[in-house]
Structure formats: C-alpha cells, structure tokens
Amino acid sequence: MAQLHQRLLRLPVISLGAVVLTSGLTAGTAHADPPPQEPGVTLRVFDVQTPLDRICTLKPAQTPNIDKLMPMINWSGADFGIENYFMAQALTNITIPADGSYTFRLSSDDGSRLTIDDGLVVNHDGLHGVTSKDGTAQLDAGVHPLRIDYFERDGGQQLTLEWKRPGASAFEVVPGSVLSTEAGVVRVTAPGRKECEGSGDTPGDGLPLTGVHPNYTLTNLRPNGFEPKVTGMDWFPDGRLAVLTWGGTDDSGTSAAGEVYLLDKVTGNTGTGTVALKKVAGGLKEPMGLKIVDGTIYVSEKARLTRLVDSTGDDVADKLETVATWPYGGNFHEFAFGLLYDAPNFYLNLSVAINYGGNTTNPQPAPNRGTTIRVNKDTGAVSYVAGGLRTPHGIGWGPEHGLFVTDNQGGWLPSSKLLHVKQDRFFNHYMTPAGPFDSKPVTPPVLWMPQNEIANSPSTPVLVEEGVFAGQMLIGDVTYGGIQRAYLEKINGEYQGALFRLTQGLEAGVAELSLGPDGAIYAGGLGAGGNWGQTGKLKYGLQKLSPNGKNSFDMLAMRAKPGGFEIEYTQPLSTETANALAARYTLRQWRYQPTAGYGGPKIDEQTLTVTSASLSADRKKVTLAISGLELGHVVHLRSPRPFSSTTGETLWSTEAWYTLNAVPGGAGTITGIGGKCLDVDNSGTTDGTKIQLWTCNGTGAQRWARVGSTFQALGKCLDVSNGGTTNGTTVQLWTCNGSAAQVWQPRSNGSIVNPQSGKVLDAAGVSSADGTPIHLWEYVGGDNQHWVITGTN
C-alpha cells in the first residue's frame, strides 16, 4: 500500500461493483468436472520489483516466485512471502451449493479484481488501504473457476474474500470447504524479477509470439480421439511415424501407461482425417525417448532401455526386452530423457532426483544421475559421457554432428541452458554423493536461455538441414511453449550464439521435435498439472509445420565482433529503418551466478549504448559498435517496431539473446577445479602479484588473452617465478618479457604446461577454495591440474 493511503486502514469503505460478463460466456453456468482436486486455493506471487499503482498484465510464461496451497482467501503480511512490489493470483474452483444470487465482498490493500467463470464480479483496483467492494453474480449449482488478481505497492498487505449466500443476512469468509484446486501438482517456483507488459509491447516485440511463423503452414495430425502426450518420435524408411506417449497422470512416478503408436500418411498433404493410427506397444514406465534402429523400436523407460520385439511381423510388440539398466532410486523426477543412436551406441540423459517444489534431493537416492550416458546396443554396457546436469530434457545432434543437450532451471541452474556435451565435461550441477564428473572444471553453456523471457522448460533440440535457417537449431519448450531458434557460431573452438523466437500458435507446449522426410517440423505436445505446461493450451498434441516457400522478414543471425555485434536479416532494411540506425536498438547485459538454491536472478544488469551502426551494401547486415560489453554475460538486443524491410514487411520478432563467452580477438576465462577462475589477486598489476583461484565474477582480473604463446591479463603475463622448474614454484603476474617462464601450452588432457619446466599449472593442495595459490607441479592427472579455456585466442 502507498504510504499516503495508510490512513484508510481505520474503516472499510464499501461500494457495489456490477457483474461484467466476457463476450460469449455466461458467468452463472457451472463448468464440467475439473481435473482431480484437493481442498484449498493456489496462491502465486510474482516479484515485479517496481512500484505499481494498478494491477498489471504479467508477461506470459513466467514462473512465480511463490506458489503454495492455502486453505482459504484471507491473507496478510507473511502469507505472501514478499513485503512489497508484487503481483499475486488466487486460483481456485468454487463449488456453489444451489442456484441463486451470491454477493461477494473483496477487501484488499492495495488493488484487487475478482472474476468468476472469466466474468468480472468485483473491480477493486488502484492504490488504497484496506477497503472493501461488493459485487453480485447469479450462479448455477456446481463448480465455477474463480480468480483474484492483486497487487501490493508498499505498506500493509491484505486480501480477503467473503460472500453472502442467498437468504443470508451477513457476510462470512468464503470457507475452504467450497474451494478446491488441482491436486498432486509440483509447485515450481523461480527467484528473480518478474515483468509486466509495457505499453509498447506486442507479440514478438517485448512479448512472446502468439501466431505461426509465416514461413510455415500448420497441419493438425491427431485423428479423432487421439490425445498423445508425446515424449518421443522417429521414422521408418517407408515414411511411417512412431510416436511415444508419456502415460503419466500425476507426480507419483509410478505410472506404467506409456504407449507406442505407428502413424501412416502423416507426410505431405494430409490432415486428421487422413492419418492412420495403430497402437503397437503399451505398459511402458514413463518413457521419454524413442529410436528406430534397423527396423526395431527402442524406448528409454525410467530405469531401462527397452527393445520392442515383434515376432509375428504385425508391427505389434509381443515382448518388451531389456537391453540395459541404469541407476534408479524411485524418485518421480528420475527420467531417462531422449534417445539418439550413433552405431553401435545409444545416447540419453538421466535427470536427478528432486523434491516436490524443485530442489535437488539430498542425498540422491541413486548414484551417477544428472549425466549423459552411452549404451552399447549389442552388449547393454553403460558408460558415462558427461555430468553436472539436472533436468536435461532435450538431446539432439547439432553442428558437426556434435551432441547438444538442454537443461532446465533449478538447483545450480539460475536459468535454463543449451550445452555442448563432450567426454568428461561437467556442467555445474553438484550432488550428494558427488557425481562422476563433479570434480571436473565447469564448462560454460553454449546458450543461456533466460527464464520466462525466451524459455522456461526447454526440450528437444534439432538441427535444421535446409531452407532459410539451415545450420541453425530449433528448440521446443513445454511451459514457455512454441519453438525457439538458435544461431551458433564457433569462436576459439567453442560454440556460442544467439537465441531467437521462431513460432507459437501450436496446440500444446512442445516436448518433442522431429524433422520429417517431407522437410516439415513435427511437434509433439505435453503438459501436466500445476504450472508445468503452456497456459491455456492442451496437455497433448501432434502437429507439423511445413515450409511454404516464404521468406518473411526476420533476424537471421547475430555474430560477435570485436567491440560489438553483426546482425543479419533475411531481407534488406528499408530506407526508413536505416535512418538513425543506431537509435533503433536497445541493449542490456547481465550474468548469472549458479548456487545450490533453485534458479537465480540476473546479476550486474546494465544498459548498453550503441555508439555507431553501419549498414552493409546489400542492406541485410548491421554492424553495431557497443561500449561496455562484458564476457561471461548474456546480451539482450531489441529493435522495437516500427522496423521494416524494403518490401514494407515488419520484423517478425525484434529480440535476440546472445551468450557472450568469447569475442574474436578478445579475452576469456580459464576455469579450474570447483568451477573457480584463474584470478589476479585484488586485480593487482605489480610484478609478482599472486595468481589464485577465485569465484568467477567477470572482472578484468579473470580475463586472459592468448597472445602468442603467453596468457595475459591486466596488461601483464602469466609467469613462473624466477623461471623455476621445481614442484611448488610460484606462478605470478609479471611484465611480459618474452622469456620461457611465460610460455604456456594447453594440452588435450586439459592441463596447461610450461614447456621449459615440463610442469603444469596446479591449484595447491587440490583445493578449490577462494584464494588457493597457483603453482607448478608435475602432471599427475589431478582435477586441480585440469583447466577449461574459454574465449581466449
């Protein structure tokens, strides 16, 4: 509540609010039975961190800061969990005992709004103390969805819902006995600032898209009555599509209702009335991956890799045969995500066990989870490729046949990310007991996928092979929904790049993507209870997006350049857009700091200035000079509309999110044991300054440039004290002098050797504590001698 309104706390002010019905909807009609319910109300709180004076419209697909079950709506103070500057939602179903006229009293500090059956009953918006407002609704007996939107500026906090039933003489708090909300859901939350829509925001320009990308034509593929929660897809050579369904109905993790279907006539010109459907397997335990090898279907269930055996040739599995098993502790979240094949091995991801609410289970009930694993098709032997994963929902082949994985926000993941998996890499999700790669240096993500802005629950990545976006990756999302597009570039041997919106307009959140033999993008939908699933969409789906030959105006690529970026478009920019070009762009940057807590906020967020912008001769490329860019940061670029091409077409999506790990010709980080950075003590530049391990913070003391055979920071060289060659010789910062004491050679085993001494960089005492000194030591293969070099030349 605003301080100037605190005097209104003394007495409630009561006024009548009219019932307003949304078009085409009768507020009083009871709804069909909702999903399984439990008594109470869902309270969701969104920390907007800015003073409001009215209820705002929250940007879609944002995870709340707080999501909890409450017995009724009579809340104050600590009930909300945040002191001020927040939006809140009360979501419930109210069971009306008998037809009649019901009067509701909404009391709040500050503004609130009550809707029933999507019809406005009480509008009590604005800044005020605890005051009340009434409204009446004619309701049929039965279940009705009820929602309250509420905002708090500062001062006191109060939200209470009362009613006066037909024939009653007094108001009472609406009892919990008539309120219910969806049962058995995981209440996912995430820290950090949430955003309201701005006055200039439109779909694709400050807001998620709402429609299908103009380059594609959408086709529905579900025959009547087919409602698949899709978790896997693959193709037979004859064009039939195998579709795997999850089968889960709750969060118990005990479901064994997964199924496999064969769909014929899905390619080319087709539709729901043409597609032929056949069930070929069932009884699968929450399967999350499917692959066809030599005409045989393989499925990744929770605890095993399963071969579907068809002994009669009718396509129906007569037997489910175990190929391999892996560690499994019975937790509802221990999925086996995806299934790829590169002879003779399958590849898939094992997620960790988590608690209801999202925190990582400690200790883990099964070892070696949070890993990408390799399974030999013939022997069933399981080996571990990489670790430090949490919920690695997506796995796919990327550029150069590389293995790419998406991981979802949670413990040690302040935001979701795209990763490039290689043998022995570690991606920063720690566990107890430790996983097989927890002691390895942390490999940074290829892309951070900023939570709620461009991603929420990213799923399958696939590589586009043809068309305008050839060579780029498409990534589905279960909760944010739709498909995002990733442009990747390789700098100093490692991938990084930009994330763009591609399309929305699908019937469900996207759990699976597959490129069909007809060149179409096949999207499988999935949703579940709580806030896991795209709001307002189905919890199942199967559609395809077919290229239609159009080349709509869009951002094609965003490339890092020394001192800025190059933005490439699919069409030439118009003269109107080219005028005052630098002013067309706004940029922000921030970094993330992983912690054991769930998710994390943006850190060191800054607004950047475009100092110049130049347009290429073909008018398709814009080179931006930008002051203040920092490595290890995400850079958000927006070119708000109006922004048009020479055809007059407006830009489809105006935003990009670039993960700036390195710049051509620039400096980067050297990370070691525990994910700590090679650091110059206190950013000192005096000769002899200590070199140490320190928590990575993006400062100049941790930026190392590869200049010839040296590593340089703060204008000086990484140096072996007095050119020593014995174990324990100090490594320091020193004026560059061209001596052998300043020559360093990275090796394929991850060590960095000084050739003169034959010794390697070593963190003393095998410690990862801040301040651990760095010295020389003979190579023994310890984790304290392995380093990840990012962004240095």
Q: Is the Cα dihedral 637, 640, 641, 646 positive or negative?
A: negative
* Three-class secondary structure of residue 132 per DSSP: strand
Q: Where are the domains of the chain?
A: 3-197, 231-324, 555-660, 669-790
Would you state the structure tokens that stand for residue 255, as one six-digit string?
Answer: 């479901």
CA distance 155 to 600: 26
CA distance 310 to 308: 7
555-660: CATH topology is: Immunoglobulin-like (2.60.40)
Give the pLDDT confidence of 269-311 residue by residue, as tens digits: 999 999 999 999 999 999 999 999 999 999 999 999 999 999 9
pLDDT computed for residue 252 by the predictor: 64
CA distance 558 to 654: 12
Positions of the chain with pLDDT lower than 70, given as ranges: 1-32, 249-253, 529-531, 793
> Is the backbone peptide bond immediately before 441 cis, with ω within 30 degrees of 0?
no
Class of domain 3-197: mainly beta
Class of domain 669-790: mainly beta
DSSP string, 258-306: EEEEEEES-SSS--TTT-EEEEEEEEESS-BEEEEETTEEEEE-SSEEE
pLDDT computed for residue 5 by the predictor: 28
* Nearest partner of 186 among 367, 64, 365, 77, judged by Cα: 64
CA distance 247 to 224: 19
Would you state the structure tokens that stand for residue 751, as one six-digit string?
Answer: 């060590």
CA distance 440 to 437: 5
CA distance 548 to 529: 35
What's the predicted TM-score (pTM) here?
A: 0.81
Which residues partner with 146 through β-bridges?
92, 116
Query: 541 Cβ partners below 8 Å, 6+ apart?
Result: 222, 228, 230, 506, 507, 508, 523, 524, 525, 526
Q: Are 83 and 124 in contact (CB under 8 A)?
A: no
Residues constituting the chain: 793
The structure tokens 């998406």 sit at 406
